[in-house]
Structure 1
Amino acid sequence: MPLGGTPATSESAGDGATEVLPSPGPSPPPPRLPIWPLALMFGLVPIWWLAGAFYLGWPLLGAVLLALLLVRGRVPLPPGAGIWLLFLAVVLVSATQLGSPNSVLTFGLRLGFYATALVVGVYVYVVTRERAGNGGVLLPLCAYWLGLVALGWLSVLAPRLGMTTPVEALLPGAIADEPFVHDMVHLSTAEYSARSLNPIYRPAAPYAYTNNYGSVYAMLLPCVVAVIMLRRRGVLRWLLLGSLPLSLAPAFLTLNRAMFLSLGVGLLVLGVRAGRRGNTRVAISIVGVVLVALLATVFIPVTQLIEDRVGSSGTNTDRLALYRAVLGRVGESPWLGYGAPVNVDTVSAQAPIGTQGQLWMVLFSHGIPALLCFLAWFVVAALCCARAASPAGQWLAIVPVVCLVQIPFYGMANQNLAIAFYVIAFAMARTERELARGHVSRLPAALRGAVE
């Protein structure tokens, strides 16, 4: 019996002799996943927006990631992936509740966004685990952030800009005229009331709705701060530092109250964690972000603008009417919902029942079990990320908290869900590595080298 090296096996040579053959060695590791598909998907947002493909093309870009994952094989799943797969299964079954053929297209697109988010999360999780210096995995999101800031300023400077996009021109008229689809493929920079004599312009590009802009801003801000912490020098660090104050004008002018609320709760959680752990670097970074935001309020009277908007519109009344309508009808179909939001004339709001918040959309469209799965995944993500020890990891760990605060107020059946999965999957993989290193550092010196 060999004492070392490759184990051997015996095989008859055909003449009575026995030929000793080396046994197969360990299978080679699967090829590393490239980062360029993430850069294609997240780094070219202004181009996808100008083409009108930002929404309809998003699941197709997700399909590219899925194909690469399938070709690679042996894909580890991030924590909580089974919960999201169960959510997708319930959503798929809820299609049996759709009331009209026209709703099939919008249902399919929403399902595509839900599935794409998981694919992005799995892809980022694998890519991060494969790379020791994994800060580069966040570069596509940095490009997304810079595109968001640039298009936000375009919305501020040219709020009435709008045009027909190539994708809109190529779609059949019956599909392009569907309100939900039209909002996604028609280029516009800001939301405003065209009938108002003194309209309030709220930046939205590259999104169809300004709430989506505010939602993703609150998700990406912690990510940008984390990248600045990870990169001590370089052009990107200074570019991101310069973009932070520049981003405040379009973000504040969205007048998104839930954006401020979710960021405030996230920073509060971050501050409490930093205080418990005595992490002065995190505490200083929080103070810096807050001071820059307060300085911006000197030039942008955001509180007064929000009060003026609420006073001149029925946004609160409309939202409450829609929420009550959902609660009133969910008892009739609690397990699978109604498949999709529906238009009714029993409320004053112009939006369909089951909109104005992801919580209400999932509850109304797909039922109580789907909502429990949706919320459970973000709770699991928040608990997993909360174990992060590094300053950058602690900033990333508040993203699922920000999402949980936003869920009752903002819809997430769009690109923002994929961005949340992107950041959270990166944070999960990085936290796992931090914990493993901490465990190794506590081992005796004789064993530490063998483990590392």
Structure 2
Amino acid sequence: MTVTPHRHLASKHDLDSLNAELPIRHVATRAGALPSWPIFALIVGFPVWWALGAVPVMSPVLAVVMIFYLLNAKNLMMFPGIAPWFMFLLWVGATVIGVQGAGDLIGYGMRVSDLILAGVCMVYVSNAGFSLSKNRVVNYLVVIWLAMVVLGFLALLIPDVRLKTPVGMLLSESITSNELVRNLVMPPLAEVQQPWGAPEPFVRPAAPFPYANSWGAAFAVLVPVVLSRIATLTSRKRSILLGMVLVFSFIPAVATSNRGMFVGLMVALAYALMRHVGLGHWKVAVLTVIGTTTMTLVLVASGAVSGILGRQEFSDSTGGRMALYLKTWEQSLQAPLLGHGSPRIDPTIGVSLGSQGFLWTLMFCYGFVGLFLFLYFFVGAVIRTRRVSTMPDVWLHAALISGISLIPFYGLSVLQLSVLSIVFALLLRQRYVGTND
């Protein structure tokens, strides 16, 4: 069918009058003229930022860029469910009064910039209807997952390599002597650990993150996104290929020895299975059960599970974490409202309180009010987008569920926070604007 263009174009005044009466879905679509490249640079470009040692500056740079575009756009919408995040940010800003010393202030600024970027991404993606379709954004997320897997295998092959980045070479030794800064600007491919008594070192893939736990947290959040993409592929060959990559991705995933990662994955799979059954998606429910069962049997039979558990024989991370959590709780009670602003080293256990798990970071750094505001936003996000009904959207919603299940165990750095905020924005846009594949 051939579409003939109109001979008479409406005037600008007529168009403005019409837009004033458009429903929310059309207004949001017009505001979607925002360019896609900032989100592309954040997600697909993340390995490049990592290789340059520029991850610490990525958040403020991209946040400023997206804010610039948002301020110059028209008909922007603040969708219901996003405002609580900015309430949380206001509270986090007030907690700066508890920060002690220049070093802690720098760390505080880095964490806050990550939180700001996550909020800006929510507003940006939810309004970028034209340039950032759901399929395009999901493709971006699949690409960063693939990059993680490739770097994970590379870490297993050459675990002792540490990058010499342009940013790292510009900084003085007094700055890079800090372990966190060094791992950010001169990142290792893997954490190589050999606890006392261990017969051989444990090689735990970390790239493109400073630590293996960050790799595991990102993997747990992104696997449901990958399953969402598989559900939308029309080519059987591509579906099988991506499925095979997903299976092999568990080789570096298992090597990280991240038990919390498997908790997040199992929570996401259990939730998705329940939803698929409830929606009558029997085929995908059966495939989920078969795939999960098969993978579990393979992990057990291959010795992967015993290897993860065997690491605990030489490293009592569980007992150490429990002691740290108890100490963090006790110290948080001393500053219940505004918290301490940033993690602080405890000389009795030699670890920074508020550094092992995002829940504990929120509690210690931003007080119980900050923790409540974060949970209020996150739980609200899950509830507000719970009525998804398609197979791909159920898997995207499972990514949010996985993310919230991880916060007692792992920190959420810039990429994990950005992924969760972007997935939420996609589902929120789906609810209030409609399908935009």
Deviation per CA, 1:32-72, whole angstroms, max 9, x where unpaired? 11222222221123322221123432332232222222221
Shift of 1:242: 3.5
Equivalence map 1:212-291=2 (5 Å) = 212-233=214-235, 237=239, 239-287=241-289, 289-291=291-293
C-alpha separation between the residues in 1 aligned to 2:363 and 2:371? Answer: 6
Shift of 1:300: 4.0
* Structure 2 unaligned blocks of 5 or more: 1-7, 20-29
Q: How many residues align?
A: 413
C-alpha separation between the residues in 2 aligned to 1:245 and 1:299? Answer: 15
Q: 2:88, 2:374 within 8 Å by CA — same for their partners in 1? A: yes
C-alpha separation between the residues in 1 aligned to 2:207 and 2:316? Answer: 24
Number of the residue aligned with 2:152: 152
Change (3 A) 1:23 1:34: closer
Secondary structure of residue in 2 paired with 1:163 = coil
Secondary structure of residue in 2 paired with 1:25 = helix
CA RMSD of aligned residues (A): 2.4
Deviation per CA, 1:250-277, whole angstroms, max 9, x where unpaired? 1111111111111111211111122222
C-alpha separation between the residues in 1 aligned to 2:421 and 2:49? Answer: 20
Secondary structure of residue in 1 paired with 2:13 = coil
C-alpha separation between the residues in 1 aligned to 2:281 and 2:100? Answer: 54
C-alpha separation between the residues in 2 aligned to 1:57 and 1:282? Answer: 38
Shift of 1:292: 5.3
Number of the residue aligned with 2:15: 26
Shift of 1:25: 2.0
Deviation per CA, 1:384-408, whole angstroms, max 9, x where unpaired? 2220011111111112211111111
Deviation per CA, 1:365-402, whole angstroms, max 9, x where unpaired? 11011100111111011112220011111111112211
C-alpha separation between the residues in 2 aligned to 1:38 and 1:234? Answer: 29
C-alpha separation between the residues in 2 aligned to 1:413 and 1:41? Answer: 13
* Structure 1 unaligned blocks of 5 or more: 1-5, 7-21, 437-452
C-alpha separation between the residues in 1 aligned to 2:376 and 2:344? Answer: 26
**Further displaced range: 191-200 or 384-393:** 191-200
Q: Which has more radius of gyration?
A: 1
C-alpha separation between the residues in 1 aligned to 2:237 and 2:277? Answer: 31
Residue 351 of structure 2 corresponds to residue 351 of structure 1: yes
User: What amino acid is the match of 1:46?
Assistant: P
**Further displaced range: 50-59 or 245-254:** 50-59
Equivalence map 1:153-172=2 (5 Å) = 153-172=153-172
Change (3 A) 1:300 1:374: farther
Number of the residue aligned with 2:60: 59
Number of the residue aligned with 2:395: 395
Equivalence map 1:44-193=2 (5 Å) = 44-127=45-128, 129-130=129-130, 134-193=134-193
C-alpha separation between the residues in 2 aligned to 1:101 and 1:413? Answer: 21
Secondary structure of residue in 2 paired with 1:207 = coil
Shift of 1:333: 0.9
Secondary structure of residue in 2 paired with 1:56 = helix
Change (3 A) 1:253 1:78: farther
**Further displaced range: 368-377 or 167-176:** 167-176
Change (3 A) 1:79 1:398: farther
Shift of 1:86: 1.0
Q: 2:218, 2:416 within 8 Å by CA — same for their partners in 1? A: yes
Deviation per CA, 1:53-108, whole angstroms, max 9, x where unpaired? 23432332232222222221432224322111111111111001112122111100
Number of the residue aligned with 1:309: 311
Change (3 A) 1:75 1:247: same
Shift of 1:363: 0.5
Secondary structure of residue in 2 paired with 1:343 = strand
Q: 2:98, 2:338 within 8 Å by CA — same for their partners in 1? A: yes
Residue 401 of structure 2 corresponds to residue 412 of structure 1: no
Equivalence map 1:291-302=2 (5 Å) = 291=293, 293-294=295-296, 296-297=298-299, 300-302=302-304
User: Sequence identity of aligned pairs in percent?
Assistant: 29
With structure 2 as the length reference, what TM-score do the two structures score?
0.88
**Further displaced range: 81-90 or 137-146:** 137-146
**Further displaced range: 166-175 or 262-271:** 166-175
With structure 1 as the length reference, what TM-score do the two structures score?
0.85
Change (3 A) 1:372 1:273: same
Q: 2:148, 2:207 within 8 Å by CA — same for their partners in 1? A: yes
Q: 2:354, 2:361 within 8 Å by CA — same for their partners in 1? A: yes
Change (3 A) 1:48 1:194: farther
Shift of 1:144: 0.7
Q: 1:356, 1:411 within 8 Å by CA — same for their partners in 2? A: yes
Q: 2:194, 2:202 within 8 Å by CA — same for their partners in 1? A: no
Q: 2:35, 2:131 within 8 Å by CA — same for their partners in 1? A: no
User: What amino acid is the match of 1:279?
Assistant: H
